[in-house]
Amino acid sequence: MPRYSKPSLRPSARMEVAAGRVRVQKKSSQGIKITPGVVVMVLVLILGGAYALWSLTREGKDFHPKGEVLTYTRDAANDSTPQVSVEDVFTEQREYSLRDGNGLTVYLMTKHDPKHGYGLGVDTFTVEPWHSLEETTNSERRAYIESRKADFQDHVVRFLIRTPRTWTFELYVDDTDGIDQTLQMQVRDAWNDLNIPGLIQKGDGVKLYFVRLSNTDFLNRKRVAVPQGAEGKLAEYQAKINEGLDWLLEPRGATKETSLATGLFNAAAEDGGDQNRTMLIFSDGLENMPFVRGHEDEATLSFYSDHAAIQDSAKWPRTDSLLTQYKKVPDLNGARIEWYGPQTGKNDLLIRAALRYWQHLLSEQGHADVHTHY
Closest Cα partner for 254 from 323, 344, 170, 326? 344
Q: 294 falls in which pLDDT band (50, 70, 90)?
A: low
Q: 331 falls in which pLDDT band (50, 70, 90)?
A: very high
In sequence order, the 6+-apart residues with CB closer than 8 A to the CB of 335 are 277, 278, 279, 366, 368, 369
Closest Cα partner for 155 from 103, 106, 112? 106
150 or 132, which is more confident? 150
- pTM exceeds 0.85: no
**Average pLDDT along the chain:** 84
Q: 9 falls in which pLDDT band (50, 70, 90)?
A: very low
pLDDT at 313: 95
For residues 155 and 132, give the distance between their C-alpha atoms in angstroms, rounded to a whole number: 28
Q: In the chain, list all ranges with CATH 3.40.50.
A: 166-373
Q: 19 falls in which pLDDT band (50, 70, 90)?
A: very low
Q: What's the whole-number mean pLDDT along residues 316-325?
A: 91
Q: 27 falls in which pLDDT band (50, 70, 90)?
A: very low
Answer whether 264's CB lies under 8 Å from 220's CB: no
DSSP state of 275: S
Closest Cα partner for 167 from 275, 252, 286? 275
pLDDT at 296: 55
pLDDT at 345 over 90: no
270 or 192, which is more confident? 192
46 or 231, which is more confident? 231
Q: Does domain 166-373 have CATH number 3.40.50?
A: yes
Q: What are the tens digits of pLDDT across the range 101-149?
A: 999 999 999 998 888 888 899 999 999 999 888 888 999 999 999 999 9
Annotate 96-133 with b (16+ C-beta within 10 A) or e (fewer).
ebbeebbbbebebbbbbbbeeebeebeeebebebbeee
For residues 67 and 64, give the distance between their C-alpha atoms in angstroms, rounded to a whole number: 10
pLDDT at 61: 53
Neighbours of 317 (CB within 10 A): 9
